[in-house]
Amino acid sequence: MSSYDKLIFELSQPGRIGFTLADEEFSNVDYNQFFNEDELRTSELDFPEINETEVVRHYTALSNLNFGVDTGFYPLGSCTMKYNPKINEEIAGNPKFSHIHPEQPIEDVQGTLNLMYDCSEALAEITGMDAISLQPAAGSHGELTGLMIMKAYHLSRGDHHRVNIIVPDSAHGTNPASANMSGFNTVEIKSKANGAVDVEALKAAIDENFAGLMLTNPSTLGLFERNIEEITKIVHEAGGLLYYDGANMNAIMSQVRPGDMGFDIIHLNLHKTFSTPHGGGGPGAGPIGVKARLEKFLPFPVLEKQEEKFVLNYDRPDSIGKIKNYYGNIGIVTRAYTYILRMGRDGLKRASEVAVLNANYMQKRLKAHYHLPIDELCKHEFVLSGNFGLTHGINTIDIAKRLLDFGFHPPTIYFPLIIDQAMMVEPTETESLQSMDKFIDAMIKIRGEIDTDPDILHTAPNTTHISRIDEVEAARNPIIRYMKEEA
Amino acid sequence: MKVLENLLYNEEHEWIQLEGDVATFGITDYAQDMLGGIVYVELPEEEDEVEQGDSFITIESVKAATDVLSPVDGEIIAVNEALDDAPESLNDAPYEAWIVKIRVNDLSQLDNWMDKEAYEAFCAKEA
Amino acid sequence: MFPYIPVSKNDEKHMLDIIGVGNIDDLFVDIPENVRFRGELKLPLQKSEIEIRQIMNGYASKNISASDKLCFLGDGTYDSYIPSIVPYLTSRSEFSTAYTPYQPEISQGTLHGIFEFQSLVCNLTDMDASNASMYDGPTAAAEAALMAFDKSKGNTFAIASTVNQNTIDVITTYLKYRNHEVLIIDQKDLRADLEDFKAKASKDLVGVLVQSPNRYGYLEDVKGFVEIANENKAIGVMYADPSSLALLKTPGELGVDVVVGDMQQFGNAMNFGGPHIGFMAATAKLMRKLPGRIAGQAKDRRGNRAFVLTLQAREQHIRRDKAASNICSNQALNALSSTIYMSLLGKTGLKELAINNTSKAHYLHDVLIKTGSFEKVSNGNFYREFVLRSKVDVKTLNEHLNKNNILSLKVVGTDLVQFTVTENRTKSELDYLIQVVEGL
């Protein structure tokens, strides 16, 4: 990779411009006439002065410092970094979809409302839920929305005391954070060694304050929760609701549906299972699904079909309220629905089959070389341990950094927390046998280096344009914005 | 691992130095080593009233945030604001870099604290 | 076979052999039979790109977009011009198909972009610390309210009634299940009533939110509200229109503690309301209370300048139930669009843009009143949105506009309509609107 570390501010040259406006006479008006003196900015707007060519070169150079799914294999567990189809982008970029103001009357936007409606129906079918809201902007936002619905449900029954959400210690960090944000207390229960719910621990944690259980299934260790029927029964008999974290939905499409397992509330990550690009951190979309008895609590407005017309219903007295501006990240929903139609029922089924096939293949081949703490049939991902004992002085981080030298994005590391030195591998269905074999070969080579040449791991990565970063110093003396005097 | 003579220690790897009813409070060498590079310390405010078991300090490293619970009931009478600019002093000199001074309401809450020898034995067992 | 799934039947056989099972179904035997889905999903079979394009065009053709008719809508979402290099650059797949930058050595493009975004936001707002983005303006405002509760002991958050309705609604939802109270401040002359706030403010207050320009387009006495909040040991939060800040007093100059808003207008499509991009910036004192990702400058082992996610101990993946927020995915690619947009317009361009917006809006305002069909409603100063009383029934007015290829205006009261003007409305389009109105 080429080296480039300039900031846009450092390219600035006085007098350069990158953009011009129409109707120049309006840009030269004395604006003082419109405002009081004390309403005007006096500080300097110190933006760069730079022309269009250089802006293009700068961001092109920055893009060359990045690694995406289109660059290479990205087996980042729990993140489902599958291929992002390009037609999705083209469809969503059609101005007939993208150039619509959210306050246009519904008569103007029947096409988009129809698409949202059909996408909701498809998601309900795939998940076995009764009603969908597309409003949440991301997975954790879906969690927050779903938990608010859980709260509204208990309050509507007069159960003000139900304030405890049980979360297994293998859960994503967003689960307890969302519980706290929606006004619940989190009760963490220990999982069994293989990451499954410890049914006895669950029973012991349930008391009169129990509100619900948040579960990821397949679990964050990539294993299907075999006791799901018993867990559902325990939760429901105790008056609680069961929440499904849909981060791992890619393993089970057309094999088992959260609704059929007994889940009451779910969220989906369209940027994982439904192929929309992650954009270096977003935007995502986190639709939620609920069972019929919870439908009245969904965020407003609710999209309804009245004869042949699609309407947005705001008259929802039991609704939790609004949780996002307007209707959701509809541009992302458009991409995801394009994907769903393109794949069809046969394609979605095949996607989950191959996601699981690929993961089991990699697990089988890698366990001959690495410690596999839980040696069972896995679903779409599995977890290795980078703990080789102290003599090697090698940790998971060193393996991850060494993988960069081989041109791979490393697996998710140090999560789930219940596996020491975890490395979570999720190939997804869009990787070929050859690309997985190359990764496995690299892992085997690295395993050999741990014994023969551990230094090469300690110093890795050696081929990227920067080496490992001093994160301690960065956090001790945070520099989080450019300051001119440092230039 | 360094342990000093004239301090008291507990099983949370915290130390205090008692003068009258004022306890100067910090973390031990063992604790700082376990935490790794400390990047920030969230301090309570002077005059805060605390109860035993209240989370009153948070110590952050890059990949962890550790809540420190108050060992006693009392009042915070001083905080070491130098830690704002130099949190690394908890790593470099844990027995000099005190965190807070607490006026202790009930000294019997400190009865179970250990002396140097007992604490060293405890650490040996932990390791 | 499926174009996105490269595993052939031969590959499948080879892999099943290695795994040691007979067929794919054997990989799902861990799912209890009682809950197993054995039917077929009620969805169509796979389709080709050719068919997909037709189907999706079918939906699209039922929409009337702002490309079909002239848009004078605003309210936080703006038909601003998107320079062609913005989508061109952000669609580079090195940016768009990357995950959150957990591995800084191969994510400097994203991290570098976030650092520039934070720097531009700080400079635009005159604040010390910005995060990497929020979902949108209203959720950013709700997170600011949660920061206020995190900082102070009271139980009430005040919101001016002149803040956008969606923002008020979202904050209300975020707070109600935590049993916090929302206090709504009355309005006068389409602006928030400072006297009403003075009367209602108490020690129970943790913060106040004021939007300027407000939902109707008029400037507020932000400083006055912040001062009263601060006197009550509460924080002052401002919801700002980012382009207006090139001209108008900045949140920093106004003494604001936290500023939030939405940057859709900086290089992002309107997208029927999302994805947009929320921003949030605060004083240095509140830096460690900020939710979400933050990129920081650092050095690598060879001493090179590099960027990395920092201050992570605030976040959900470390602090779990004690995290500042649950936010994980944000709007990174939209933030990159805004970063490129701000860089391209630059120091002089952004100010010219703001002048162009406000002078066109004032031109339209004055001429509309001269037509005799509209009356002034507020004496407030406005930036690029304003409200007029229509002498014609608003329904009739909108039908007439629609017939003449102008999108319906926002109706904000029985006989009140709102006009929004961006740089994207040319002089001839403004004159066309006036001509259509005169034809009523």
Q: What is the ipTM of this complex?
A: 0.97
pLDDT value for A485: 67
Q: Which of A397, A476, A480 would best serve as a mutation to test chain B binding (most B beta carbons within 10 A)?
A: A476
Alpha helices of A192-328 — where are they, by DSSP H? 199-205, 228-237, 258-261
- Closest-approach residue (CA) in chain C for A31: C355
Nearest-neighbour CA in chain C from A412: distance (Å): 9
* Average pLDDT taken over every residue of chain C: 97
* A63/C359 CB distance under 8 A: no
Name residue, tokens 């902007």.
A137
Is B63 close to C288, i.e. CB distance below 8 A?
no
Q: Residue C214: which of C159, C177, C164 has the closest Cα?
A: C164
Partners of A471 on chain B (C-beta within 8 Å) are: 62
Position A123: which residue type? Answer: L
| CA nearest to A328 within chain C | C274
User: How close does chain C come to A13, measured CA to CA in Å?
Assistant: 11
Smallest CA–CA distance from B60 into chain C, residue = C313
B125 touches A: beta carbon within 8 Å: no
**Residues of B (51-80) whose Cβ lies below 8 Å from A:** 60-63
User: What string of pLDDT tens digits covers the 487 residues of chain A?
Assistant: 457 999 999 999 999 999 999 999 999 999 999 999 999 999 999 999 999 999 999 999 999 999 999 999 999 999 999 999 999 999 999 999 999 999 999 999 999 999 999 999 999 999 999 999 999 999 999 999 999 999 999 999 999 999 999 999 999 999 999 999 999 999 999 999 888 999 999 999 999 999 999 999 999 999 999 999 999 999 999 999 999 999 999 999 999 999 999 999 999 999 999 999 999 999 999 999 999 999 999 999 999 999 999 999 999 999 999 999 999 999 999 999 999 999 999 999 999 999 999 999 999 999 999 999 999 999 999 999 998 875 678 889 999 999 999 999 999 999 998 999 999 999 999 999 999 999 999 999 999 999 999 999 999 999 999 999 999 999 999 999 999 864 4
Which of A132, A124, A138, A140 is CA-nearest to residue A214? Answer: A140
Which residue in B has a C-alpha nearest to residue A475's C-alpha? B39
Angle of helix C394-403 relative to helix C427-438, nearest 10 degrees, comes to 120
- What sign for the dihedral angle of Cα C62, C65, C67, C68? positive
Q: Does C439 touch chain A (CB under 8 A)?
A: no
**pTM assigned to the model:** 0.96
Query: C163 falls in which pLDDT band (50, 70, 90)?
Result: very high
Asked whether the beta carbons of residue A279 and residue C423 sit closer than 8 angstroms, the reply is no
pLDDT score for A389: 72
Partner A contacted by C276 (CB < 8 A): yes
Our CA-based measurement puts residue B14 at a distance from the nearest CA of chain C, in whole angstroms, of 21
Residue with tokens 């005159």: C126
Structural domains of chain A, with CATH: 8-63 (no CATH), 87-342 (3.40.640.10), 346-473 (3.90.1150.10)
Got the DSSP string for C325-355?
A: ----S--HHHHHHHHHHHHHHHHHHHHHHHH
Residue A326 and residue C272: Cβ atoms within 8 Å?
Answer: yes
Q: How far apart are CA A9 and CA A28, in angstroms?
A: 26
pLDDT digits (tens, 9 = 90+) for C203-217: 999 999 999 999 999
- Give me the domains of chain C, ranges plus CATH numbers: 9-57 (no CATH), 85-340 (3.40.640.10), 349-438 (3.90.1150.10)
**pLDDT tens digits along B7-60:** 999 999 999 999 999 999 999 999 999 888 999 999 999 999 999 999 999 999
Chain C residues whose CB is inside 8 A of the B60 CB are: 313
Mark yes or no for CB contact A257/C37 under 8 Å: yes
By Cβ distance, the residue of B39, B62, B65 closest to C319 is: B65
Please tell me the distance from the alpha carbon of residue B42 to that of residue C317, in angstroms, as a whole number.
Answer: 19
Find chain B residues with C-beta within 8 A of C318's C-beta: 63-65
Specify the pLDDT at position A101. 98
* Residues A402, A331 contacting (CB under 8 angstroms): no
By C-alpha distance, the chain C residue nearest A51 is C344
Distance of residue C6 Cα from the nearest chain B Cα, in angstroms: 38
CA quadruple A434, C97, A92, C117: dihedral, nearest 10: 180
What is the CATH number assigned to the segment(s) B8-126?
A: 2.40.50.100
Measure Cα distances from A3 to A405, A412, A463, B9, C109 in Å. Answer: 16, 26, 11, 51, 11
Give the pLDDT confidence score for residue A387 in this predicted structure: 86
**Chain A CB within 8 Å of residue B120 CB:** no
Evaluated on CA atoms A180, A184, A185, A187, the torsion sign reads negative
Q: Which residues contact C378 (CB under 8 A, 6 or more apart)?
A: C189, C190, C191, C216, C218, C386, C387
Q: How far is B104 from chain A (nearest CA, A)?
A: 31
Per-residue model confidence (pLDDT) at position A388:
80
Q: Please name the residues between 18 and 37 in chain C that touch chain A, using a CB distance below 8 Å.
A: 18-21, 24, 27-32, 34-37
**C-beta neighbour count of C436 within 10 angstroms:** 17
User: Would you state the pLDDT for residue A487?
Assistant: 43
Looking at the complex, report in whole angstroms how far the Cα of residue B44 sits from the nearest Cα belonging to chain A. Answer: 19
Test the C interface: residue of B39, B42, B60 with most C CBs within 10 Å: B60
Separation in Å, CA of B97 to nearest CA in chain A: 16
Q: Could you please report the per-residue DSSP string of B54-88?
A: -EEEEEEESS-EEEEE-SSSEEEEEE-THHHH-TT
Whether chain A has a CB inside 8 Å of the CB on C246: the answer is yes
Helices C332-370 and A52-63 cross at an angle (nearest 10°) of 150
